[in-house]
Amino acid sequence: MSILEPHLKGSLRPDFQWGYATAAAQTEGAWNVDGKGESIWDRLGHTPGITKDLSTADDATRAYDLYKEDVALMKSYGVRAYRFSIAWTRIVPLGGKDDPVNPKGIEFYNNLINELLGTGITPFVTLFHWDTPQTLEERYGGMLNKEKFTADFLRYARVCFEAFGDRVKNWITFNEPGVYSLAGYAAGVHAPRRSSNRDLNPEGDSSTEPFIVSHTELVAHAYCVKMYREEFKPTQKGIIMITLHGNNSEPWDAEDPLDVEAAQRAREFEIGWFGDPVYKTGDYPESMRAQLGDRLPRFTEEESKLVLGSSDFYGMNSYTTFYVRQKKTPPELTDHLGNVEKLDTNSKGVSRGVESDTYWLRTCSWGLRNLLNWIWNRYQVPIFMTENGTTAKGEHVEAPPPETVLNDTHRIEFFNGYLNALASAVKEDGVDIRSYFAWTFTDNWEWQAGYTDRFGVTWIDYKSPERKRYPKKSATVVRELFEHLIAK
């Protein structure tokens, strides 16, 4: 059941936007239908032995076919907004600036947007949620080529602004650019699967490529925002931002200055990496430059001016908290964390939180409040929380799922804690927060983990042709919490 704290009633602004977030590659399916081209995630899914459960997203949750059913279900959940991404290769199948546009792709997203607006749900649209066109990867190495990628991305974004901007007023350029870089080019487990680990990846350099790719993302984002503000915003009146990932870091030993410094550095490596160029200085944090030297690209003067201030709001994805400890050895070339060690308990044996069904994710609502304050104090930009959620143990069962699965107590406790922490940050700490999008609407294809991670407030029967949906109790609880927390 929802925990409605009396002192937090009405603490969120009346126009607070809340709902659920999804990504095209994880939900739509129809991977090669109606003219859609191949993305790097289509290629990865079809590479034998790569995903944890050997699955593909060929059908995913069939959101492409079932979007009307999904919108009706969201409406029954009481949401005000829905954050989804557009599949680049559904709009421009080959991806490039001179490649043809696919009218069927335009038609699908027009239909989805109109369906949402017709039921009173506000669309928040992400242009890039990790699904680079495979053709661009093959033509010039994708994001490793800043100039060519930026030109291709700007053309794709222009098509979207022209086709949908009369109705879409909330745009996100890139989702979690750092996760895309680290998982795809440092660890090499996500598409396009590049790293220095030759046992895992035939190509890549974990010491340089993640920073090159992230630089490309920041520059392409900034030019995209410039285009939108100059050519579309005057008539369309929308907002545009970037969404950054970032889990909270706390010192392993709060009384050790080295660990306190390590926690700050960890936040700068994870969050300041993108947040500082966009919201603070137009450049990377000094702690990153000190460790990485010339392996960290440098902005030209023009790029720095463009990047700084290039997001109307702070888009924030966050899930958990880690304790971090200063390493006793010098940083390795492949270190991307700030030479820290991540731990589940602190020096006094206190756990960072209750385990979920995902190894890295533990419930830590106080950590979210700390992080909201850190971001607000550092950047002083209103925050749109665009992802937050959890898996729960015991949800991998046969259909129909038993009541114990649909009454998803772990997820309910997670949302109770995190939403009350968010409201406390607003009411008691003065943090300006404008939205909350839970991850996620339905269980879906969780990238390299396949269907082994269930994050949804809706349980999916993957064995049924229609991907039958079963609402979980958490969907009701989230609605009750926001009815209590949002001012009338």
Helix (H, G, I), strand (E, B) or coil at 7: helix
Catalytic residue, from 28, 137, 268, 387: name it: 387
Catalytic residue, from 137, 176, 217, 395: name it: 176
DSSP single-letter state for residue 142:
G
- From CA 213, how far away is CA 186, in angstroms rounded? 11
Q: Which residue has the tokens 């430059």?
A: 289
Q: 301 catalytic, yes or no?
A: no
- From CA 472, how far away is CA 95, in angstroms rounded? 38
Q: What is the torsional sign of CA 236, 237, 242, 247? A: negative
Q: 3-state secondary structure string, 421-470?
A: HHHHHHHCCCCCEEEEEECCCCCCCCHHHCCCCCCCCEEECCCCCCCCEE
Q: Which residue has the tokens 């993640």?
A: 210
Contact criterion met (CB below 8 Å) for 180 and 216: no
Structure tokens at 448: 């390299």
Q: Where is 146: in which H helix or E strand?
A: helix 146-164
Nearest Cα neighbor of 98 from 155, 22, 157 is 155
Helix (H, G, I), strand (E, B) or coil at 362: strand
DSSP secondary structure string, 117-129? HHTT-EEEEEEES
Q: 286 catalytic, yes or no?
A: no
Contact criterion met (CB below 8 Å) for 173 and 125: no
User: Which residues are known catalytic residues?
Assistant: 176, 387
